[in-house]
Amino acid sequence: MRHKPSISLEFEAQKMFLFSKIGVPGSGAIRYAAAMFFYNHDKISAEMLEIYRRCCKFDKEDPIDLAQFEGIEDIPNFILEL
């Protein structure tokens, strides 16, 4: 039987995915998938998740830039701090 990773390990892994380097091929989708994880754990809003969805196919698009451009106010600290 495969062991599920502990939730804190999963959080760390998803955090790493969320902060995948901008511009790396496929990174837009990786960030969006991680954002969905954090949405499921009430760490980001539906509005912020939608920003990640919009950036999903655009690896060079920085979701935080876009969120700020769109005037989204509740960008979580754990995202901004990086």
Q: Footprint of other proteins on this chain (CB under 8 A)?
A: 14, 17, 26, 29-30, 32-34, 36-37, 39-40, 46, 49-50, 53, 56-57
The residue (of 30 and 64) whose beta carbon lies closer to other proteins is: 30
Smallest separation, CB 68 to other proteins (Å): 21
Dist. CA 44–CA 38, nearest whole Å: 6
Query: Do the Cβ atoms of 52 and 39 come closer than 8 Å?
Result: no
Q: Can you tell me which residue has the tokens 């804190």? A: 8
Sign of CA dihedral 77, 54, 29, 35: positive
Smallest separation, CB 34 to other proteins (Å): 6
The residue (of 26 and 71) whose beta carbon lies closer to other proteins is: 26
